[in-house]
Amino acid sequence: MRRFIFNLVSVLFSAVKFGIMKLFHFHHFFYSGIQRFSPNTEVVIAEGGTIRLGRHVRAHRRSKLLAMDGGTLEIGSNTALGNGVSVNCMESIVIGEGVQIGPDTKIYDHDHDYRVPGGIGAGKFVTAPVTIGDNSWIGCNVIILRGTSIGKNCIVGAGSVLKGAYPAGSVIVQKRQTTVTVYPTGTEK
């Protein structure tokens, strides 16, 4: 019963929040159907950014969607964002339908351009589109960088850092090696 009430509150909150956002960002915010966003999920449209949400998109606590500098963020129907997911868009991020994104995943389509005069303090960015194919599953704490294309039906292992193209049906895991060295303390006999 408690879960039902929380979900109902989230749906009602989303309807009110998105209705208000539509008033202020008429040509830059689009959604259809019922959305279920946690009350403390941030949705930010700045400097000509655009956000398009499919039907039944869910975003859990502390998630943040940001479209700025003319960037377009599209999230397909029946997609779920776990706790603390951050999606930051300055050019184009397209997340397909039925995608599941684990907690604390970060998705960026831009990097600071450190090569310009003034370095990163100049506030210039290099951008490249990001796409995530339908029915993909992104594990927790994944970082997806600019220029990444993940095909349909992919699985990305927890803690992975992705940049580049990954074909449909891939299982992407970044293995790490743990090395333990025990140094003598002089007390062993």
The C-alpha atoms of residue 40 and residue 146 are separated, in whole angstroms, by 26
Sorting pLDDT into bands at 50, 70 and 90, what band is 66? very high
| Residue 3 three-state SS | helix
pTM (predicted TM-score): 0.89
Arithmetic mean of pLDDT, 124-145: 98
Is pLDDT above 90 for 60?
yes
The C-alpha atoms of residue 60 and residue 41 are separated, in whole angstroms, by 7
The C-alpha atoms of residue 93 and residue 71 are separated, in whole angstroms, by 8
Q: CB–CB of 113/126 below 8 Å? A: yes
Q: Write the pLDDT tens digit of every residue in 68-126.
A: 999 999 999 999 999 999 999 999 999 999 999 999 999 999 999 988 998 888 989 99
* CB within 8 Å of 113: residues ≥ 6 apart: 120, 122, 124, 125, 126
Is pLDDT above 80 for 65?
yes
Angle at 60 (CA atoms; ends 54, 63), nearest 5 degrees: 85
Is pLDDT above 60 for 32?
yes
φ and ψ at residue 50, rounded to 5 degrees: -135, 140
Domains and CATH numbers, the chain: 1-172 (2.160.10.10)
Q: Tell me what pLDDT residue 67 has.
A: 97
Q: Write the pLDDT tens digit of every residue in 145-183.
A: 999 999 999 999 999 999 999 999 999 999 888 888 888
Between 7 and 71, name the one with better pLDDT.
71
Q: What share of the chain is helix, strand, coil (3-state, %, to 5)?
A: 15, 30, 55
Long-range Cβ contact pairs of 1-10 (< 8 A, separation 24 or more)? 7/36, 9/39, 10/36, 10/37, 10/38, 10/39
